[in-house]
A and B are shown apart, each in its own frame.
Chain A
Amino acid sequence: MTDQPENPLREALADAIASNEVILFMKGSPEQPMCGFSARTCAALTATETEFAAVDVLADPRIRQELSSISNWPTIPQLFVRGELVGGADIVGQMYESGELAAVLGAPATAGSEPLPETTEPGSAPPLQIENRLG
């Protein structure tokens, strides 16, 4: 027995999911998304005026691998609200359109009534860095 966790990266991810009310794992940053699906998901969150933590999975390939083991979800982005996986880009987009996303996030219900902007507004929250503690 040791105090050293067996898988520090996985524990860091689990901790980030548990300690941030709204957290998005994405490719790139909200300011500079590196993939259209991540960009759309950011846009939906920004349109609901929700503050969220963001983690760039491209920082280290192991983040994506560990995250998918935790979430049982193969693709990026992944949105978690209060520790629960809400979904990827398709589900978040669908929930935004229906107004359900605003309800889940506790944002004003009118937020879903406007079409999504093409690009995200910069910075609702600073990006969260998951440190690579394995290297």
Chain B
Amino acid sequence: MIPSKRDIIIRSLRHHRGTLFSLSLTALLVTAVITASVLAGYSVRQTLYSKTAERLDGGAVLASSGLRFTELQLARDLQEILGVEAVPMLSLNGYAGKFETGTRAMDVNIWGVERLADMPERGEAVINRRLAEALAIEEDQFLILRFTPPSDLPSNTPFSPEKGEEGSLFLRVKRVADTVPYANFNLSVSQIIPYNIFVNLEEFGEFFPDGPKINRIVVAEHEAATADEVRRAVAALSQPGSIGLRIRPVGATGGYEVISDRVFIDSHIVSSVTSAIGTASPVLTWLANRVESDSGSTPYSFIAAVSGSSGITEPYDMVINSWMADDLQVGVDDSVTVAYYVTGRGNELVERSAHFRVSAVVPLEGVWRDSLLMPEFPGIAGARSCTEWDAGVPLDLDAIRDKDEDYWYDFGGTPKGFISYETGMGLWGNQFGPATAIRFDSHAGAAELKDDLESVADIRGYGIAVTDLLAEGVRAARGGVDFSMLFLALSIFIIASSLIMTVMIVQNHMLQRQGEVRTLSALGFNRRTIVLLFTGESAVPLAAGVLVGAAAGMLFNRVLIAALNSVWSGAVQTDTLVAHAAPLPVVAAMLPAAALALLTVVVTVRRFLAGSTLHIRPGMSGPKALPRWLLPLAAMVSVALFLAPVVTDADVTLMQFAGGAVAMIFLLLLLHAALMRGVAGRYWAFFPGRGVTPATFIAAGLFVVIATGVNRRDFSREADRRDGGTGGFTHWIETTIPVEENLNNEAVQRRRGIYADDGLLFMAMPRVDGDDASCLNLHQIATPHILGVDGELLSQRQSFSFATRMRGAPDRDIWSLLEQPAGENAIYGVLDQTVMQWGMMIKAGDTVTVTSESGEPLHVIVAGGLRSSVFQGHMLVDASHLARWFPSVAGSSVLLAESGSGDHREVAEMLSSSLDPFGPVIESTPSRLEAFYSVNNTYLSVFLLLGGIGMVLGVVGQGLNVRRGIEHRKREYALMVAAGFRLKTIRRMVMREQIFIVAAGVATGVLSAAAASAAGLIRGGELPLGLIALLVLLMVVAGVASLLLSLRTISREELTAALRGQ
């Protein structure tokens, strides 16, 4: 009999369903946007997960020797011990060209394989669809593949032979693989499909003395083959041969020695072995250009630095053999000078000299006649004469005498002089290693020595890094760009507009039901119950809106993904994203949307009840005039902010933005003052919010949208600015084959045909490949590419600028910090600020740990974040540190060039031709920046579009506001009608008022945004005039339409009813 609260809610819902239906629409909109945003992020993540599995083709764990090579047998042994497939691969980088046309594709992943579905024979290749399309090549056509020849001995090793031709293969395309899983195989963490070519491993046998080697082993996914298991297996299987070490007997001493395929032995190996095996002692043998005395000069002699040699008591003592003593006419206590080459900065050869005292003269026999002390330099060992030597250094053949040839013939590389090992280390120690051999004075035999070496724990598995590919891929995908938050942020105006409309609908609704509120209160309903009744009736339409909105959101997600794959592909660099949906993310979106919508209703109802004082008429506290000083104060503050950069060091962009924002406030205050004039102004005087609030919303929205739009940057004007993102360089060059020559050398330039009217400066940068950490990669990257830069040059040029720097970094010059060591296994580095903040989620002062060439961890302390630069995606360290920690990186595969003047396009064409053998890709630095900013600009475009939609919705909401105002003023209008005003006149009056408010909002937003964007405009940004015009047009159309609809309620019937008070 007594109605329950539920009964009242249901009745009210039925009675007011028209009004409450509009709540459904706003809830639908909010939910659709939130759901679509959440699903967009979910879809991208799911796509990246599936792409991870796709690009790994069943592989789960990687054992990699990095820049070095290991034996094929290791893969076979690994497979046997694990019982899981372990695929050996030789991974190289090169470029391919179609034989018939010369069409090229750069940066091709070359996979040397010994097993593959549809395995290519020698002379054949299997390529993926992407490469086939780039080359416009089909099956049975031919291509040429060029690459840096793989070698155990890096080409920049001291005394390695002159660099020969790059490796090349002439291959028939056996198959274009586009559906098989391995087609897009990629060990790099990226959504971009690489160029892949699969070649028979045997093709690379010629580059290794004992048959082909590998540098990657991909272990298939299996529960028995976790990364730890693989790591243990690799360590257990590790033999000296796995890390390029060989044991051989030393006839001269009766002992044994260990030598390396890389000639020099890593310091870690030397220290581990000499610590573990007491009989071990290191040897370092070097080629001296000459040994001179007062009486003569002996050219091109080997000097061995040995430990514990009799006759050497002082650091600069030298024992020489009798042959040299005769040649130089010296004896004990005489002085000799040794001249020798070392590698300086930029791999330039530098001749140095050291003075020694002859401490003993020994006969050329026994332990002193030991030709095995000479390392097996490929260009020297095996030469029949000295003149045949290819030592990788300039040789003055005229200085070689017959007696020198005779010595070589009789004694080979037997050192003519001996110094202490410590002294030799000081003179000739280099990044490749401190020893050319480790000698063992006494051992039972080679087998026992091998066992002893294998038991040295620290070198087991040395140089082989094991990575859990799947876990890394999943982590990188999960931590990548969060498109959910991104789209939520970009859609903020739509969400805000929808919620504002919700507020307006509820306020309107409450206004119409003021009497009910009064009655309920008078009858003894407490405020909480009244709120419950009014929000309870909203819950059903809200819930309906949320449900339908979730479905709409799923559709909208498909639209978003389709847009990302097409018109917005600049943001994702792929067109293979797939729209996904699942119950959990949908529910995760619906809940906050529902909560937000419901909360908005609850808060609005509560505030209305509090403001209406429930029981009597709405509180009217009199006209609200602004303090007189507010307007001039706002004007002065705005002007001061605009002038601040002129008289202080304040940032121009920031001050102008702030000045523009205050100018907007000033204009809105001006609007407020204008509204209060005249007869109509009496209404606005009491309710200024109803006029200024919608204008504020429109102005603020336009301000943000326009100011953001100007930040779409045009980099064509940045080419000359050294402190800008180009550093003053004009061209960014990447080569597939690293350039080992110094391109700043005039002779090299002449030989290569490099010329430019006003000179050309190159900065060569060796690179260690990692993962692309630029914004073009959707994944979160932990190990970016590393570039070795010339910090001194950048410091002198004052190139680039820093957005952030770590505490304690020098105020002005971070580049000079890079050269300094930062501690044990630690160096300083620099990253692009955008990459740091959004890609890697780190900040200045944090540490990035990478694996050095030897497998040791290298900690790179981020000294600063570069303002947007061409280096995006790379971590910069000093070239000297890169050479030390990655000695096998020979040459530079990245260069920056600065041409003084002239047509940059012509320079690019010239460089492309001159550097053709290296497989160059040349782009202007502004173009490179533009590409990075395509991501940023795409996001801004999306923001402009979604923001614009939000603005239009806001204007539609303004129609509701008008409706509310009309409701509020109905009696006023009714009285005017009773006094003789025509309805048409009243409608016209309302229309004029509202159009004035919208126009004022638009003008305020546009003017203040233009002022705020001045700095951006000067920098090259452009006002998106087309978009602004479209936005304004849409707002005007939407505003007028909703206004006209609202004006229909000003009818004679409605006004009469208002007079009657019903």
Mutual binders A and B = no
B residues contacting A by CB (< 8 A) are none
